[in-house]
């Protein structure tokens, strides 16, 4: 009998050769099953073989390793330098609390039978049993907060939409995961898409919505395809449609694909984009819960938020709320990326410190150089220096240090990073992605680039630093949404924690002076 081998079809595993590994295994007669990823990306492509004593993992495997692995007795979990042992025992997986991502990398994505066998649909069954009111109470009591970045209490959002008058209501999933350093939504939609579908059905049932929409970014072709396949499977199994699991409740879901605009991750801009318009931000109020998609009551939730809901319903709000720190309850799938030795998804209860995450879990930088900065929460998040590594992972603790946890991404930089350049990049990104509706963001970001260029060139540095601080204040308090409003976080944190890179004669200035032809080119920093 041929060995059953699990090979991730996750886009990041495919990016490092999983497809070739799967083909090589199939050529040698293995029964290849395409799963999602466990999220231990430094070990990808990581394959798992089913043996009598459970699964045994090997990684990182290249296609060229396949004959040797088979010679070593892969089918029986035979010894080989790439053998990692039982995946559950791999230290950095064993240390996690996998609740939302429990099935990711384990099941065949979109298989309703396997989903059910691994604990799926218990949450939905309980929801249908206790009724909409009790579901909202359960979610409220769990203290679940939106995982997209804003951290708004999910139960309150649902109650508002449930109480809003309207013949038609909508559940909208924000799968426009644009923050650099984040990939939890992608991983889940590729590895366990039914968890999102189950969460959406529960949300629809709770607020009285019959239609769900998923707005997925175009940069995620694999997630789009995987989720569409899961929708088909869910319809086939009677999970979606006119009579959800025989309950009489009707619910269906449609996926729409974005078109490369970062700002469409902002919920009101996303709604305009779903309506087929320019993705421009709307002024609030009215809240989407009152007037959202097509001006009808709408719940807009992130992928991870909704995928957390089945866990809460299945195991109870108390079990969820028992985990965490301060007002941040439950687990958070934290994503480690960039220049880090162990990049991947690390789901743990809130409260772990930034230092534990970067040094112990992440293992420091991939380049082996000292960590200089960590950007937390995507392009709108602050840069933290190692001096702040005692910060607990918690919405309020990060805010108290002028940062944010955002969608859970952490991007690590070693000591070669030039923070003045990163501050300039933040302004440039904002200028590229601004929707153009409000002046502080549209014009402020362009002025921000110009001011940063003058600082980097060493022109009137003190005056220009005062100007950029003032500009950041204006953008922070005057912008309509989080794009212009939060871009000051990376800029100001870079300036606050790494002032030496902004001083006349900072890193970029020194580089400029080194390359500028004498007496020509851009002006080098004075005093050099």
Neighbours of 471 (CB within 10 A): 22
Q: How many CA atoms lie within 13 A of 393 on its CB side?
A: 29
Angstrom CA distances, 107 to 67, 184, 353, stand at: 26, 17, 31
Tell me how far, at minimum, the Cβ of 191 lies from another protein, in Å.
13
Neighbours of 326 (CB within 10 A): 12
3 state SS of 170: strand
Of 95 and 277, which CB lies nearer to another protein in the complex structure?
277
Of 30 and 189, which CB lies nearer to another protein in the complex structure?
189
Structure tokens of 231?
Answer: 């929708």
Of 138 and 433, which CB lies nearer to another protein in the complex structure?
433
Of 317 and 412, which CB lies nearer to another protein in the complex structure?
412
Q: How far apart are CA 185 and CA 189, in angstroms?
A: 6
Tell me how far, at minimum, the Cβ of 17 lies from another protein, in Å.
9
Of 58 and 262, which CB lies nearer to another protein in the complex structure?
262
Of 355 and 409, which CB lies nearer to another protein in the complex structure?
409
Angstrom CA distances, 54 to 5, 38, 44, 345, stand at: 12, 16, 20, 23
Tell me how far, at minimum, the Cβ of 218 lies from another protein, in Å.
5
Tell me how far, at minimum, the Cβ of 428 lies from another protein, in Å.
10
**Which residues here bind another protein, judged by CB under 8 A?**
11-12, 14-16, 39, 41-42, 44, 177-183, 185-186, 218-223, 256-262, 273-280, 294, 335-339, 343-345, 366, 375, 379, 409, 411-414, 417, 422, 425, 429, 432-433, 435
Neighbours of 164 (CB within 10 A): 21
Tell me how far, at minimum, the Cβ of 385 lies from another protein, in Å.
15
Tell me how far, at minimum, the Cβ of 471 lies from another protein, in Å.
21
Of 7 and 136, which CB lies nearer to another protein in the complex structure?
7
Tell me how far, at minimum, the Cβ of 152 lies from another protein, in Å.
23
Tell me how far, at minimum, the Cβ of 470 lies from another protein, in Å.
25
Q: How far apart are CA 448 and CA 288, in angstroms?
A: 31
- DSSP state letters, 418-478: -HHHHHHHHHHHHHHH--SSSHHHHHHHHHHHHHHHHHHTTSSHHHHHHHHHHHHHHHHHH
Of 260 and 499, which CB lies nearer to another protein in the complex structure?
260
Structure tokens of 453?
Answer: 């260029």
* Beta-carbon contacts of residue 431 (< 8 Å; ≥ 6 apart): 445, 446, 448, 449
């Amino acid at each position: 009998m041929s060995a059953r081998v699990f090979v991730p079809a996750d886009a990041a595993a495919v990016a490092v050769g999983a497809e070739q590994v799967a083909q090589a295994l199939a050529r040698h007669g293995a029964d290849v099953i395409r799963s999602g990823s466990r999220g231990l990306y430094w070990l990808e492509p990581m394959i798992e073989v089913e043996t009598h004593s459970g699964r045994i993992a090997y990684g990182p495997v290249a296609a060229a390793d396949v004959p040797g692995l088979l010679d070593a007795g892969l089918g029986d979990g035979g010894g080989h330098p790439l053998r990692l042992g039982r995946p559950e025992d791999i230290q950095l997986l064993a240390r996690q609390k996998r609740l939302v991502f429990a099935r990711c990398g384990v099941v065949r994505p979109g298989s309703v039978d396997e989903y059910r066998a691994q604990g799926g649909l218990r949450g939905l069954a309980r929801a249908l049993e206790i009724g909409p009111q009790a579901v909202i109470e359960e979610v409220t009591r769990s203290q679940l907060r939106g995982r997209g970045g804003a951290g708004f209490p999910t139960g309150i959002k649902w109650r508002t939409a449930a109480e809003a008058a309207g013949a038609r209501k909508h559940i909208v999933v924000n799968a426009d995961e644009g923050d650099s350093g984040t990939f939890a939504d992608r991983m889940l939609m590729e590895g366990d898409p039914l968890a999102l579908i189950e969460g959406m059905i529960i949300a629809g049932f709770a607020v009285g919505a019959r239609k769900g929409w998923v707005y997925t970014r175009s940069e995620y072709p694999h997630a789009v395809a995987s989720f569409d396949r899961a929708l088909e499977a869910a319809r086939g199994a009677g999970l979606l449609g006119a009579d959800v699991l025989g309950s009489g409740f009707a619910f269906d879901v449609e996926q729409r694909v974005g078109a490369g605009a970062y700002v469409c991750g902002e919920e009101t801009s996303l709604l305009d984009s779903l309506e087929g318009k320019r993705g421009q931000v709307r002024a609030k109020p009215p809240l989407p819960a009152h007037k959202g998609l097509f001006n009808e009551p709408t719940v807009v939730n992130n992928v991870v938020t909704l995928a957390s809901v089945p866990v809460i319903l299945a195991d109870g709000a108390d079990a969820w709320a028992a985990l965490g720190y301060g007002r941040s309850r439950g687990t958070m799938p934290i994503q480690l990326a960039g220049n880090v030795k162990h990049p991947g998804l690390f789901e743990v209860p809130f409260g772990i410190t930034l230092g534990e995450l970067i040094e112990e879990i992440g293992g420091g930088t991939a380049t082996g150089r000292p960590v200089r900065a960590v950007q937390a929460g995507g392009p709108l998040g602050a840069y933290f220096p190692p001096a702040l590594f005692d910060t607990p992972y918690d919405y309020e603790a990060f805010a108290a240090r002028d940062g944010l946890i955002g969608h859970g991404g952490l991007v690590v930089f070693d000591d070669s990073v030039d923070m003045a350049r990163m501050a300039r990049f933040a302004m440039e990104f904002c200028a590229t992605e601004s929707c153009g509706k409000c002046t502080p963001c549209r014009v402020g970001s362009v002025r921000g680039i110009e001011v940063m260029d003058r600082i980097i060139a060493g022109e009137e540095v003190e005056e220009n630093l005062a100007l950029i601080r003032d500009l950041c204040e204006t953008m922070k308090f005057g912008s309509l949404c989080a794009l212009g409003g939060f871009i000051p976080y990376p800029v100001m944190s870079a300036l606050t924690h790494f002032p030496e890179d902004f001083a006349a004669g900072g890193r970029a200035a020194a580089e400029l002076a080194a390359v500028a032809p004498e007496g020509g080119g851009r002006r080098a920093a004075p005093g050099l």
